[in-house]
Amino acid sequence: MYDIIIIGAGPAGLTAGIYAGRQGSKTLILEKNIAGGKGLEVPLMENYPGYEKIQGQELIQKIKKQATKLVELKELEEVIKIKKENMKFTVETKKDTYTTRTIILATGTRHRRLKIPGEKEFLGRGVSYCATCDGPLYKGKEILVIGGGNSAVQEAIFLKQIGCKPSIVHRRDELRAQKYLQDRAKKLKIPIIWNTTLKEIKGKGKVQKAVLENRKTGQTETIKVDGIFIAIGEEPINKLAQDLGVKLDKAGYIITDKQQRTSVEGVYAAGDITGGLNQWITACAEGAIAATSAQRDTQ
Ligand code: NAP
């Protein structure tokens, strides 16, 4: 029997592991993919204390190394069911079953889909949700980056810097992204197509054209493109939380108190799954608090 099972090995889950291990809790981290979560996709971070500049992948490797010296991490092991009986949880994965006294949900978010014709069809053949992963395939090519938030602008900057030709397509006439990113995009002369939405993606076997609609005039235009990077926000991965009866907010994020306790005794949550600022620093902080609370509450 574990003291703590952490579900999800992004910055929040791994940090929870570091704290859990150091406090002596018998802990297992379960991750359905490889450790890192969306953190692996961050091209460059400039707001994590102690590092003026660091890539998401590099920081994840450091945190993972630190965590796995202290606790067990099983990657490529997806949790499919959690059952609560009295003060014990049974966690079922596709490979095994484990029991634990407490759970930390650090399941994060997934990329929101546009839900337009061609998006699913051309996924991996011109449509991508991750510039760090797929950008290098598009050097010298015309790309549209859809969205106006930090992710879209950051991805466009990264794509430009590696030699792609990105344009941002945004549905409004001002960006949501932080000013320093906007300034950098301006300096790099990244074109922005304002008040415009992507209506359809077309091609033969791969992305070749994008149908754009101007929201002010209603006019549509079909342009030639080689790639489309979609960065229109995130959705919580909350199925396990829902199954456990954990209280969620209107947008589907887990509601916690200041100690990262959820509405279900013995279940804690940390990181992007709790909504809020969606930053590494807050995810790590929540992971630390969740692990500490899980131990204190069950002493
Ligand atoms: P976000 O901040 O929610 O922005 C999503 C963008 O996509 C918005 O500009 C939104 O337009 C647009 N959008 C949403 N649905 C759309 C649709 N159906 N069609 C067209 N456009 C649509 O999401 P994000 O940029 O992925 O960022 C997620 C979180 O991670 C944020 O909290 C962000 O601050 C954080 N993050 C931080 C950094 C950093 O600190 N450097 C980097 C990346 C991400 P509207 O503006 O019109 O709503």
Indicate which atom in ligand 1 lies nearest the CA of residue 114.
18
Q: Which residue has the least CA distance to atom 36 on ligand 1?
A: 150
Q: What angle (nearest 5°) sits at the alpha carbon of residue 283, between those of residues 55 and 105?
A: 120
3-state class of 244 per DSSP?
Answer: helix
Mean pLDDT of 144-158: 97
Q: What is the reported pTM?
A: 0.91
Name the phi and psi angles at 179, rounded to 5. Answer: -60, -40
pLDDT digits (tens, 9 = 90+) for 223-274: 999 999 999 999 999 999 999 999 999 999 999 999 999 999 999 999 999 9
Cα 71 off chain centre by = 23
pLDDT of residue 299: 87
Q: What is the mean pLDDT of the chain?
A: 97
Mean pLDDT of 192-209: 98
Q: Classify domain 2-110+234-297 at the CATH topology level.
A: FAD/NAD(P)-binding domain (3.50.50)
Q: Which residue has the least CA distance to atom 26 on ligand 1?
A: 233
Residues 183-189: contacts with CB under 8 Å, at least 24 apart: 184/153, 184/157, 185/153, 185/156, 185/157, 188/157, 188/160, 188/161
Is the CATH number 3.50.50.60 carried by domain 113-230?
yes
Residue 251 Cα, ligand 1 centroid: separation in angstroms? 15
Residue 145 Cα, ligand 1 centroid: separation in angstroms? 12
- Where along the chain do its domains lie? 2-110+234-297, 113-230
Contact 292, 268 (CB under 8 A): no
Fold agreement between 2-110+234-297 and 113-230: yes
Angle, nearest 10°, between helix axes 280-297 and 11-22? 40
DSSP state of 148: S
